[in-house]
Amino acid sequence: MARKKLNVAMIGYGFMGRAHSNAFLKANRFFDLEYEPVLKCACARNPEKLKAFADNWGWETTETDWRKVIERKDIDCIDIGSPNDTHKEIAMAAAAAGKMVLCEKPLAMNAQEGEEMTAAVEKAGVPNMVWFNYRRVPAISLAKQLVNEGRLGKVFHYRALYLQDWTISPELPQGGAGLWRLDAAVAGSGVTGDLLAHSIDTAIWLIGGIDSVTAMTETFIKERQHQVTGKKQEVTIDDACAFLARFKNGALSTFESTRYARGRKNYNTFEVNGADGSIAFNLEDPHRLKFFDNRHEAHVHGWQDILVTDFEHPYMDKYWVPGTTIGYEHTFVNAFADFLKSLEQGQEPVRPNFRDALETQYVCDAVLKSGKTGAWEKASA
């Protein structure tokens, strides 16, 4: 059967532009789907770099003004992979034009922007998704399955770390290509929006909503040269953040993130402790899910180390044979395949959508506020 075409335009061509382009190219090679994307248009400001990017990934056309892309009648779906300060304007215009909208995380610079964006896609009734790609790591999807199957029982604790080490040098500039994540005017925040947003999304997905938080944040390097202007300027992102959270279901938790943990590259971990079992995950060992099942007889108690590569595991029947592995890029392939599947008749809308990401944004805002006030803050509107 001929597949239905979905014309996609992508805004931005950095790290996420590559990850998304690859997902668009690969989803239909591995998944059986009614819809197939056409890589219609790539959009970014620098025409030479854009041309090279578009040629490499097979984008049919290019534009240097995103507004022109949204005006185009031949585009069904806008994918936003540009820096955080551009998300709101593009998403709102895309929704108003009746286009489907995919958006990189974090959804917005703050919850107020997120609310406007969520209202816009919901009013327009357009399919929407936020690329919290780690939900689609098979081992994390398996963790969700174990929770849904009731294997953990009542959850008491959630413990998350998201550690990196790439900003330790004071010589590293801030701002501009590849380094806008260090510039609060463009990124909105530092590790809270960039890394903890992932941890928060995973936590909410696995065990439910967060009620309130208390945080400490720090900016270790106070000034950096701006990559574009060459001028030294104040650094206003949070370099590190740790917070305590109370979940709505009564669970207690700790979250910590930094880009100053020497030796940690993309150390995204979590552990959940329930009355009947515990699970633990580390993204630097992504095919493993540790599981302690207290329902086993006491003399065989012990942590299971599940190698998540069997056909029975989430997504893994779409790839190779048991024991062989997939990579970081497949989390985006899996996410986009889920998005395409959701467009088929009778399917549930894809998650996480803008509303889910807004919930994470409320938590981020509360964390950043608490980092300043030192008080407990409610993680809601």
In the complex, least distance from residue 266 CB atom to ligand SOE, rounded to whole angstroms:
5
In the complex, least distance from residue 345 CB atom to ligand SOE, rounded to whole angstroms:
33
Sign of CA dihedral 274, 278, 282, 283: negative
Cβ proximity of 264 and 213 under 8 Å? no
Cβ proximity of 16 and 104 under 8 Å? yes
Name the residue with tokens 């992932």. 198
Q: Report which of 119, 116, 63, 62 is spatially closest to residue 89, judged by C-alpha positions.
A: 116
Give the integer Cα–Cα distance in Å for 186 and 85.
Answer: 5
Nearer to ligand SOE, 79 or 194 (CB): 194
In the complex, least distance from residue 107 CB atom to ligand SOE, rounded to whole angstroms:
13
Does 282 bind ligand SOE (CB under 6 A)? Our answer is no
In the complex, least distance from residue 165 CB atom to ligand SOE, rounded to whole angstroms:
10
Binding mask 39-58 for ligand SOE (x = CB under 6 A): --------------------
Nearer to ligand SOE, 171 or 312 (CB): 171
User: Angle at Cα 306 formed by Cα 257 and Cα 144, nearest 5°?
Assistant: 60
> Using N-to-C axis directions, what is the helix angle for 15-30 and 328-342, rounded to 10°?
60
Q: Report which of 62, 129, 63 is spatially closest to residue 95, judged by C-alpha positions.
A: 129
Nearer to ligand SOE, 164 or 217 (CB): 164
Binding mask 148-167 for ligand SOE (x = CB under 6 A): ----------------x---
In the complex, least distance from residue 276 CB atom to ligand SOE, rounded to whole angstroms:
31
In the complex, least distance from residue 273 CB atom to ligand SOE, rounded to whole angstroms:
25
Nearer to ligand SOE, 61 or 266 (CB): 266
In the complex, least distance from residue 39 CB atom to ligand SOE, rounded to whole angstroms:
22
**Among 63, 194, 359, 377, contact with ligand SOE (rule: CB under 6 A):** 194
Give the integer Cα–Cα distance in Å for 114 and 47.
Answer: 30
Give the other-Cβ count within 10 Å of 172's Cβ. 15
Does 266 bind ligand SOE (CB under 6 A)? Our answer is yes
Give the H or E element holding residue 355: helix 354-373
Per-position DSSP letters for 63-105, written without gaps between them: ES-HHHHHH-TT--EEEE-S-GGGHHHHHHHHHHTT-EEEEPS
- Provide the token pair at 343: 């467009």
In the complex, least distance from residue 187 CB atom to ligand SOE, rounded to whole angstroms:
9
Nearer to ligand SOE, 190 or 314 (CB): 190
Helix (H, G, I), strand (E, B) or coil at 217: strand
In the complex, least distance from residue 293 CB atom to ligand SOE, rounded to whole angstroms:
30
Nearer to ligand SOE, 266 or 342 (CB): 266
Does 76 bind ligand SOE (CB under 6 A)? Our answer is no
Nearer to ligand SOE, 58 or 178 (CB): 178
# of chain residues touching ligand SOE (CB under 6 A)? 4
Name the closest residue to ligand SOE (Cβ): 194
Give the integer Cα–Cα distance in Å for 362 and 368.
Answer: 10
Cβ proximity of 160 and 230 under 8 Å? no
In the complex, least distance from residue 15 CB atom to ligand SOE, rounded to whole angstroms:
6
DSSP class of 381 = -
Cβ proximity of 249 and 100 under 8 Å? no
Binding mask 170-189 for ligand SOE (x = CB under 6 A): -----------x--------
Q: Report which of 224, 194, 162 is spatially closest to residue 83, judged by C-alpha positions.
A: 194
- Chain positions 196 to 235 lying near ligand SOE, rule: CB under 6 A, are none
Interaction site with ligand SOE (CB under 6 A): 164, 181, 194, 266
